[in-house]
Structure 1
Amino acid sequence: MLRLIAFLMLLLPGILAVYGIKLIRDSFFGLVNPVFINVIIQFLAGFIFTGMGIGFIGGFLLHRDRKKNKTKGRFTDKK
């Protein structure tokens, strides 16, 4: 059950990032979704969605690797 929850935690930001890439692509070709009023706003929303999705997945993987000591001391806290 826990693996399913972890899979869903990575799946949803992945879908968000893919949708952001789709919005960016559509804004380059001038296709505006009905949700957005302008191509520029659609591009910015796609950029934000992509950044949030990739950032969450990257942070999740970094946290997991830190917990398992696989970062070779590169990302340790220096107190």
Structure 2
Amino acid sequence: MTPLEIAQKDSIKELLDKLPFVMPPKQARSIIDVGHNKIYEILNSGELPATKLHGKWLVNKYDLIEFILGGGMRENAS
């Protein structure tokens, strides 16, 4: 592993460690860089697992990471 790869890995780990365990859609959408309507479309479709608590969506940090690593949104990126 090159020094650059190590630095990138450490930087990503540090960023992920700072994320809260659960977050509102507004924070999740800023991380995956989608708009207001698109995040709710993703949540309602189940593409990104989330939980509703008292009528408000909550996104688990690990589900968001899996969504990103699994290529969520790539097919729509054209």
Give TM-score scaled by structure 2 length: 0.29
Structure number with the higher helix fraction is 1
Find the structure with the greater CA-based Rg. Answer: 1
Structure number with the higher strand fraction is 2
